[in-house]
Structure 1
Amino acid sequence: MIEPYHLKQQEKEQQLLQKLNELTFWHTEHCQAYAQMMHKSEQQLKAATLEDVPYLPVQLFKLLELKSIADEEVVKVLTSSGTTGQQVSKIYLDKATAMAQTKTLVQVMKPILGAKRLPMIILDTKSVLKDRQSFSARGAGILGFANFGRKHFYALNDDMSLDIEGLQAYLKEYAGQRILLFGFTFMIWQYVFKEARDKGLALDFGNSVLIHGGGWKKLKDEAVDAQTFNQLLKQQLGIQEVHNYYGMVEQVGSIFVECSEGHLHAPSYADVIIRNPITFEPVSIGEQGLIQVVSELPKSYPGHSLLTEDLGTIHGIDDCTCGWSGKYFSVAGRIPKAEIRGCSDTFQGGVKA
């Protein structure tokens, strides 16, 4: 597998475009609903550029059962996170797609975590993994990142309280060693940081690296940005190194990780395109718009090109001071609900008009 951040954008686009075109044909042949949408919207199946690859709005996975494999080939069903009563996305994986996801995640994280498994604290509760066939976004994230660790310790009890005694014993046992921490942004803030702060707990995570993602909206409601989050975790818990990531259950394995300079990067097997929320035309570098994600991984369902509900900005290409090639970007959060409705109405038959 190609090193995840070594390909220059032009070379990467050539390779990625070929694979995305192959996937568009594959899903047209193997997913009837996808084929109907392509036909109805008169899409060109062979795109000349990445921007021309047909995309689906991510909301469709909440409304339709989209898969390109037979029922008996499904080995895992992933569901998006959602509050009670909300519809959730269902993503169907076969063995090959699930394996490709795991292998790619290892490659993407290697520049940050190295090849050696680290002692690992999962800042969540073990009960989230109860059903091994059907995973929530949280469960899928934990299971994926658990491959990078050993001697896994779950820091939260089932009632979401912090297992203070267990945590202190674990930190003592691995004192001086590099420890991997993993969790979801809001849960870390709410159930780890706030409890430690409010109870005046003396916790020192020492030589640790934290990987976290998702759940920024609630933190923004509390006026906490990424810089403040990192600073407070360092002050309260002694966490030295923090990397946010951007990803979604609807596009398995598409993990865009923060580099040492605080920018999210698109690895060699995936990319981001930013589109104007009204016209859906691609926008220039530095201009905010809707994030489209493309990936060569989803073969068991038509998720290789998706228009998200998130706003973001590409800040540059091939010139990040961290040394990684390709596009680097930031995410500003969800598009306001009123605009989502307007944007959904623009999709005739579920793809761009």
Structure 2
Amino acid sequence: MFERLLAAPPYSLRQAEKEALLLPGLNELAQFHYETCRDYARIVDAAWGGPRIYRAIEEVPFLPVGLFKKRELSSTATPSLVLRSSGTTGQTPSRIVVDPETATRQSRALIATFRPILGDRRLPFLAIDTKDVLQPTDMTARGAGVLGMMKFGARATFALDSALETDLERVRSFVGANGSQPFLVFGFTYLVWTKLYERFRDGELDLTNAILIHSGGWKNLEARKVSNASFRAALRARFNLSRIYNFYGFVEQIGSMFVEGPGGLLYPPNFTDVIVRRPGSWEPAEPGEEGVVQVVSLLPRSYPGHSVLTEDRGAILAVDTGIENRFGKAVAIAGRVAKTELRGCSDVIAASAA
């Protein structure tokens, strides 16, 4: 089922067809993790009355994302990498166990998601980060993001030094050497703003041919009164950069990326989907109704991350519009959930694993 969903263009399936293909895969993953991850089995037994065949994707048991900060959940005997969330100082990071099979699935999913934007040819690559984020066995979400996008890049150049200061001459040299052809720029949103936008003057860099992929750090930018619209407008005015793609993703389900499309909405690719739930009752919300975002995915086999309740609020604003050949759900993310809204659900499920 995963192969079939991966083979089709990433947003080509109507919602009903997509769910019909996702459901058997999610049932298989739920049973697999029940049999191979003791903590997951205890949660399903205690909170969902044991395993069964689920008749809709909304019925598949979910884990609150905070649980991955409390426990290292594993369904594999051959771990090859541990990914850590890039949480702020003092926070306990999530630890996500990855094995070769899951890493391959994540890599193939990433390529399928971004191929319509970046094409098949590897592009000169400028990372708005330091090469120090790349670690062989214990890597943060930032490092995983950079490493993932390097699959599309050639001759990677890192814009920041070990102290996270911008190497101005290195960036100027890269743009001078590659600016006459399409090239890829990737970075977490806050770093793109503070280390690229704020470090170069108007007209100093010509990024006309750049394709910028970015994500994360919006909370810090909102504190500076920088919205998605003003971010895009500022980069266009300063650098003539117009091909800008924001995406939504999180380390607890690495590889499941919702890329910005028409109207600034986010689109889940074929092998993943989103459910919005009402805080408290945890029933699925109606289209257009804001609630807590749950993400399901066929990617994770090394850990039970196939159905995760996030700490983000959002709404499903459209389904099967077909705009620019995008079908399925179109989603808006509104920000973080108040902790009180998650506490009841998270505490019950976390207690089940104790």
Settle same-fold status: TM greater than 0.5. yes
Q: Which residue of 2 aligns with 1:103?
A: 108
Cα contact 2:245–2:259 (8 A) shared by 1:
yes
- Aligned partner letter, 2:15: Q
Q: Gaps (5+ residues) in structure 2? A: 1-6
Mapped to 2, the partners of 1:188 and 1:317 lie a distance apart of 31
Deviation at 1:342, TM superposition (A): 4.5
Task: Write the mapping of 1:29-68 to structure 2, written as runs, cut at 5 A.
Answer: 29-41=35-47, 42-68=49-75
Q: Counterparts of 1:66-85 in structure 2 under 5 Å? A: 66-70=73-77, 73-85=78-90
Q: Please tell me whether the aligned partners of residues 31 and 67 of structure 1 are also in contact (alpha carbons under 8 angstroms).
A: yes
Superposition RMSD on alpha carbons, in Å? 1.5
1:157 to 150, 154, 161: 161
Q: Structure 1, residues 307-352: CA drift from partner, whole Å, max 9, x if none? A: 000001111111052221111111111112343435534547459x
**Structure 2 match to 1:337:** 339
Deviation at 1:228, TM superposition (A): 0.5
Cα distance between partner residues in 2 of 1:108 and 1:261: 18
Contact 1:60 1:350 in 2 (8 A): no
* Mapped partners of 1:75, 1:217: distance in 2: 32
Q: State which of 265, 268, 272 in structure 2 corresponds to 1:266.
A: 268
Cα distance in 2 between the residues matched to 1:139 and 1:175? 25
User: Displacement, 1:294?
Assistant: 0.2
Q: In structure 1, give the amino acid aligned to 2:150.
A: A
Task: Name the counterpart of 2:132.
Answer: 127
Per-residue CA deviations over 1:135-179 (Å, capped at 9, x if unaligned) read 100000100111011111111122222111111111111132011
Identity %, equivalent residues: 43
Q: In structure 2, what is the Cα distance between the partners aligned to 1:227 and 1:194?
A: 17
- Which range moves more in the overlay, 308-317 or 236-245? 236-245
Q: Distance in 2 between matches of 1:148 and 1:350?
A: 42
Q: Relative to 1, partners in 2 of residues 1:117 and 1:190: Cα closer, same or farther, differing over 3 Å?
A: same
Letter in 2 for 1:193: Y
Provide the residue aligned with 2:209 in structure 1: 207
Distance 2:187 2:105 in 1: 22
Structure-1-length-normalised TM-score: 0.94
Query: 1:3 is paired with a residue of what secondary structure?
Result: coil
CA 157–277 in structure 1, closer or farther in 2 if over 3 Å, else same = same
> What one-letter code is carried by the residue in structure 2 that aligns with 1:36?
R
Deviations 1:11-41 (A, max 9, x none): 1101100000000000000001111111112
Matched, 1:282 2:284: yes
- Among 118, 127, 133, the alignment partner of 2:123 is 118
Tell me whether 308-317 or 160-169 shows the greater mean CA deviation.
Answer: 160-169
Q: How does 1:197-346 map to 2 (within 5 A)?
A: 197=201, 202-345=204-347
Please say if 1:18 is aligned against 2:24.
yes
Structure 1 runs (4+) greater than 6 angstroms displaced:
none
Aligned length in residues: 346
Q: 1:238 to 1:339 in 2, by over 3 A?
A: same
Please give the per-residue CA displacement for 1:258-289, whole angstroms capped at 9, x wherever unaligned.
Answer: 12432210111000000011211111111111
